[in-house]
Structure 1
Amino acid sequence: MRLSLPLKTLIHDWRRFLPAIVAVAFSGLLVLLQAAVILGIFSLSSLYVTRSSADLWVGFPGVQSIDLGRPVTSKAELFVWMEPHVQRVEAFLWGSGEWRTETRGMVNVFIVGVSPTADSMALSDALSRQQRLALADPDAVLVDQADLHKLQTQVGGSAEINGRKVRVVGVTRGLRGLGGVNVIASLATTRNLDPTAGPDGKVAYLLVQLDDPKVAAQVAASLNAQGRDRGFEALTGNAFARRTTRYWLVESGAGVAFIFGSLVAILAAVIITSQTLAAAVAGSLKEFAALRALGFSMRALNGIVLRQSFWVGLAGLIVAGLLTLLLAVVARAAAVPIVLSAPMMAAAGVLVVVTALGSGVYALRRVGQADPATLLL
């Protein structure tokens, strides 16, 4: 009876506990969406790494993020080719410029230079064959669908970057930049638009494909033994992506501020949940007093409150899950970057239930006020 009583009372007095369920649901929604948005936004920083098929990225020693690359000497490619596992080497440029149109003022953009060949490693998972062939035309560029309104342009439109005319030959999806607007061009076009992106044959990065991806860490270590004194460093694709995301998430001021604000919001949600559940328990004092008059011990009453808290947390978790899925669909339709994974959702679920149980523990102090004598008043 004691196991089913908390659930029965919760169902019978659902109006009393509904505010607590709503508070728990929005607490879980806030926790999950804050984490999803944080990871989604800062995962944008490493998109150009994760959506490329290169096994190794060779760049300037100590580079912290892909957008902070510095020109690497052309001699680095010779050392890369000396490794027996290397099959292909491809240049990758990262420049900058000022985008201008007749209807828009100046917009700072990053120029991403990739090989326009059909089997290019750069953005192999993001660009179609037709888009790469279109980039082979002089002064052709691609922009992301989400940035069209910023640049005041459309497919077939024209603009100027650093005073040179360019044509928008297509749009990408899911390549929105974190620190600004990214414009994709061929290697030749990028050098024309920003000569500092690859002066004297230098490149921002060398993308390397190996005959066996499993030896990537081994080949990187071998290259780094030679590159320390020659101005280059090799990183596996996963290692470079993690370094880039970590820089934006932890070391940049934006990441720290975002995380701090999220923690404050989550703390506020937990406090509101605790107060709401305590109020629901306080509203049931006469029922608890009646149970005490029937011989229930304080330990048994405390168990009822904690079980009610668990069921409140579970109900709130279900509501939070449905709302999260709905908002995730809306976010993706609006090109808002979010990252939802099974481990993240499981962790958020555990946190929500723990929050509900913690709120129940906080509400236990009210149970002590359930005096059977109050039934005579």
Structure 2
Amino acid sequence: MAVALARKTLLHEWRRFLPAVMSVGFSGVLIIVQGALLLGIVGTNALPVTRSRADLWVGFPGTQSADLGRSIDAGAAAELLVDPRVLRIEPLLMGSGDWRGLRGGGVSVTLIGVDARPDGLGLAEAMPRAVRVLLEEPATVLVDDGDLGKLATAIGGTAEINGQRVRVVGTTRGMRAMGGVNIVASLATVRALDRSLASAGAVTYYLAALRSPDTARAVKTRFSRPDARQRFEVWTAAELAGRSVRYWLLESGAGVGFIFATIVALLVGTLITSQTLMAAVAASIPQYATLRAIGVPFPALRRIVVEQAGWVGAVGLAFGLAGSLLAALLAHLNGIPFALGPGIMALSGGLVLAVALLAGVLALRRLRHADPAALLR
């Protein structure tokens, strides 16, 4: 009876509960959008991993994030190739530079050196093969299509990186960085641009393709011996990407700031929703008093209010998800990192429903005024 009465009350008095629904919806949009932006922004530091097709990554021991790699001994490649499960190995370089366009001004850039062969593993998801082979020409680079304006350049344009002339021959997809700009070039070009990588033995990562991706864990375990880990460390692609996200999410000031802002949004949503629900309950005091007068027990009235809070949360969450999908579309059209996945939507949805139910519990205080004697006043 309580459930049916709660639904009928919501339908009949929808104007009274509309502010609560809207507050839950806006809270949902705020929480989901902030969470998706947070994961999208910190995820840009793992782009070299997520946009490549390597099964295993070999790098400096204890590397905290993919963008913080340091050079390792070139002999690591020979050790991995001894394993018959390893199909091929190729290096990936990460350096830094200062970009200066023809119109002046400097932009800090991250240099990513990849094998320019059409079947290269590094950043294979970020560029088509036809564009990749253009890097075989010396002093040619690729930039993300969303960074052309920031760099004040265009395809076919020229610029200087660390004082050396380069030419933009194409663009990458989905390689916009959180701070600076990702510049992709061949291994030889990156070594020429960043003198710290000039030595042939200076390799930031080795990317390994396996004959069977299912053996990635077993191969990783083989090369995780204490003696090997003093010289290099092996990760699966998922492990290195996850490590990068966790580092920037939990150990950087930006990640902690975003989390704090999300908590504040949650508290504000709880406060606003509880106030609107309490106002709706207060406006329904005569109806609740009538129910008490005809013998409906007080616990049943509590169940009605909590049920109403649940429905308010569900409807508000539907509006929130719709608004978040719209925000995701706008972010995609503007090249903004926005990781709106099932996980963040489920977690945020659970938080929004919890906010609504908590607001309903807080609104129960108004039921104390539902005294049948109030009908005689």
Report the TM-score when normalising by structure 2.
0.95
Quote the residue 2:352 is aligned against: 352
Q: In the alignment, is the contact (CA less than 8 A) between 1:71 and 1:198 conserved in 2? A: no
Q: In the alignment, is the contact (CA less than 8 A) between 1:142 and 1:169 conserved in 2? A: yes
- Match for 2:367: what amino acid? V
Q: In the alignment, is the contact (CA less than 8 A) between 1:93 and 1:198 conserved in 2? A: no
**For residues 167 and 9 of structure 1, do their structure 2 counterparts lie closer, same or farther at Cα, with a shift above 3 Å needed?**
same
Rounded to whole Å, the distance in 2 between the matches of 1:197 and 1:224 is 26
Quote the residue 1:228 is aligned against: 229
- Match for 2:313: what amino acid? G
Rounded to whole Å, the distance in 1 between the matches of 2:315 and 2:220 is 50
Per-residue CA distance 1:222-244 (angstroms, 9 max, x = gap)? 22324234x22221211111111
- Match for 2:355: what amino acid? T
- Match for 1:196: what amino acid? S
Q: In the alignment, is the contact (CA less than 8 A) between 1:42 and 1:178 conserved in 2? A: yes
Q: In the alignment, is the contact (CA less than 8 A) between 2:46 and 2:67 conserved in 1? A: no
Greater CA deviation, 168-177 or 113-122? 168-177
* Superposition pairs of residues 1-377 of structure 1, within 5 angstroms: 1-225=1-225, 226-229=227-230, 231-377=231-377
Greater CA deviation, 107-116 or 299-308? 299-308
Greater CA deviation, 156-165 or 237-246? 237-246
3-state secondary structure, aligned to 1:351: helix
CA deviation after TM superposition for structure 1 residue 285, in Å: 1.3
CA deviation after TM superposition for structure 1 residue 221, in Å: 2.5
User: Aligned residues: percent identity?
Assistant: 49
Rounded to whole Å, the distance in 2 between the matches of 1:275 and 1:103 is 56
CA deviation after TM superposition for structure 1 residue 70, in Å: 1.2
**For residues 351 and 364 of structure 1, do their structure 2 counterparts lie closer, same or farther at Cα, with a shift above 3 Å needed?**
same
Per-residue CA distance 1:91-126 (angstroms, 9 max, x = gap)? 100010000013241111000000110000001112
CA deviation after TM superposition for structure 1 residue 218, in Å: 2.1
Per-residue CA distance 1:125-157 (angstroms, 9 max, x = gap)? 121011111111111111112212211111111
CA deviation after TM superposition for structure 1 residue 373, in Å: 2.7
Q: In the alignment, is the contact (CA less than 8 A) between 1:115 and 1:122 conserved in 2? A: yes
Rounded to whole Å, the distance in 1 between the matches of 2:84 and 2:7 is 67
3-state secondary structure, aligned to 1:57: strand
Q: In the alignment, is the contact (CA less than 8 A) between 1:55 and 1:216 conserved in 2? A: yes
- Match for 1:154: what amino acid? A
**For residues 52 and 335 of structure 1, do their structure 2 counterparts lie closer, same or farther at Cα, with a shift above 3 Å needed?**
same
3-state secondary structure, aligned to 2:95: strand
Rounded to whole Å, the distance in 2 between the matches of 1:301 and 1:239 is 51
Greater CA deviation, 246-255 or 94-103? 246-255
Rounded to whole Å, the distance in 1 between the matches of 2:2 and 2:164 is 78
Q: In the alignment, is the contact (CA less than 8 A) between 1:92 and 1:205 conserved in 2? A: yes
Q: In the alignment, is the contact (CA less than 8 A) between 2:57 and 2:207 conserved in 1? A: yes
Structure 2 stretches lacking a partner, 5+ long: none
- Match for 1:347: what amino acid? L
Residue correspondences, number:
376
- Match for 1:333: what amino acid? L
Report the TM-score when normalising by structure 1.
0.95
- Match for 2:337: what amino acid? P
